[in-house]
């Protein structure tokens, strides 16, 4: 899912967003492609997000992970809410 879609989904589902969190989580895409999830989609990143951006940051990061892992169908949810 593209960053813009993650941000739209955050706003629709959580009521807030933080673009910096999505940028950080996906920053390894440039050199790892889809494999970036091994590096930046982990419980350590959830802790990092919470330490830096508070509980809202942790929720945004977790939501990002769940959408990327296809646990939640972000595109379907966006269609239902927009």
The pTM (predicted TM-score) of the whole model is: 0.82
Give the three-class secondary structure for 71.
coil
Domain that holds residue 45: 3-81
**Total number of domains in the chain:** 1
Question: pLDDT for 19-72, tens place per residue?
Answer: 999 998 888 777 666 655 556 678 898 999 999 999 999 999 999 988 888 888
d(CA 75, CA 62): 17
pLDDT number for residue 34:
62
């Amino acid at each position: 899912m593209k960053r813009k879609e993650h941000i739209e989904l955050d706003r629709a589902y959580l009521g807030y967003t933080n673009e910096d969190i999505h940028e950080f989580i996906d920053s390894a895409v440039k050199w790892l492609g889809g494999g970036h999830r091994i590096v930046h989609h982990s419980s350590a990143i959830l802790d990092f997000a919470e330490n830096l951006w508070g509980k809202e940051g942790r929720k945004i990061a977790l939501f990002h992970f769940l959408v990327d892992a296809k646990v939640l169908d972000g595109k379907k949810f966006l269609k239902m809410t927009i």
